[in-house]
Amino acid sequence: MSKSLYLPEGYQPVLDLRETQHAIKYVKDMFQQTLSFALTLDRVSAPLIVTKGSGINDDLNGVERKVEFTIKEIDNKEAEVVQSLAKWKRMALYRYGYKSGEGIYTDMNAIRRDDDTDNMHSIFVDQWDWEKVITREQRNIAFLQETVKNIVKAIVFTKRKVNLRYPQFKTTLKEDVYFITTQELEDSYPDKTPKEREALIAKEYGTVFVMQIGGKLKSGEKHDGRAPDYDDWNLNGDLLFWDEVLQTAIEISSMGIRVDETSLQNQLAEANALDRNQYDYHKMITNCTLPLTIGGGIGQSRLCMLLLEKAHIGEVQSSIWNEDMIAQCAEHGITLL
């Protein structure tokens, strides 16, 4: 059994398999409509694959192996399955001519072959990726927090609608967001790991946005890894909710105001990644061709887990799991799709 697999005692899913499939569609339809209205976003199509060496794929923490293959039709050119669309979205806003206050969202599917699987992690990633053009004056904490609050309102509204449709659900979500920086979190719980800190603060406040992820803290450690070339590490964060079923924090969204020409170079230097300046994407930020943006990803299966009160992400998405995990889950009333 996975060391990080949590098996809630006496767990029984509220909905059966067929009802769960209906509810998943309801959650996804309701939330994306609400999010689109709240943030003024158009739905667009997005790639599953990009060419290797384009600089568009997300490098995540820089160590994860991408899924790669060659394309017979194009002289065996190498391609990669995306790990996220953080860079592609900003390029799309430029290509499609979006202006300040306008944005896009898309269904993003990815494969992260090196992720460790547990209740909340799968090698298959599905999320709503969104991106919006902003002004230079909006590159500040206040605008970031305002955007977070709008996303939380959309999530809480969707949960209310789910509870009305399925009155057997009893849990609710807090709409008030508690904002805290990673340094403040470390100062509050210096003897805890980052994940332990997140669980403690989420249990206390219910809905939390942990800000400023990517750089080193006073301890010399990072709260979590972030690629140096999309989020501004001073203007980003993770949105957490307290999950009653799992009795821990569940991260629903990672988001932030994106790098400008200055923060890009500072972060590339800190990450020893100045060689990325060779790519068109990075050049277009440095010469201010690409628009200034804010954006993020909102986990589709994670949101379904939270709103439908599930114990494992495999209850709301089809993926691949090791046989031991499948058996252990079955013994504890958790049926993986």
Tens of pLDDT along 261-307? 999 999 999 999 999 999 888 999 999 999 999 999 999 999 999 99
- The tokens of 161 are what? 């609608």
Q: What would the mean pLDDT of 71-94 be, rounded to a whole number?
A: 86
Asked whether 65 and 111 are in contact (CB, 8 A), the reply is no
Buried b (16+ CB within 10 A) or exposed e, 275-307: ebbebebbebbbeeebbbbbbbbbbbbbbbbbb
pLDDT at residue number 47: 87
- Residues 22-40 as b/e (b if ≥16 CB within 10 A, e otherwise) read ebbebbbebbbebbbebbe
Q: Is the pLDDT of residue 4 over 50?
A: yes
CA distance 111 to 60: 12
When the candidates are 1.10.357.10, 3.30.930.10, 3.40.50.2000, 3.40.50.300, the CATH number that belongs to 17-331 is 3.30.930.10
Quick one: average pLDDT of 14-29?
A: 94
Query: 232, 256 in Cβ contact below 8 A?
Result: yes
Residues designated as active site: 58, 112, 127, 238, 251, 254
* pLDDT at position 63: 66
Give the model confidence (pLDDT) of 119-171 as tens digits.
889 888 999 999 999 999 999 999 999 999 999 999 999 999 999 999 999 89
Residues 245 and 309: their CA atoms lie apart, in Å, by 6
Q: What is the pLDDT of residue 1?
A: 41
DSSP one-letter string for 39-91: HTEEE----SEEETTSS-S--TTS-PPPPEEEEGGGTTEEEEE-S--HHHHHH
Q: Partners of 107 in the beta sheet?
A: 128
- Region 172-184 average pLDDT: 97
For the cut 80, the answer to whether the pLDDT of residue 216 exceeds it is yes
Closest CA to 130 of 83, 81, 91, 89: 89
* Residue 58, pLDDT score: 67
Q: Which helix (H) or strand (E) holds 23?
A: helix 17-39
Read off the tokens for 289.
């061709």
User: Strand order in 49-51's β-sheet?
Assistant: 49-51, 77-81, 68-71
Mean pLDDT of the chain: 91
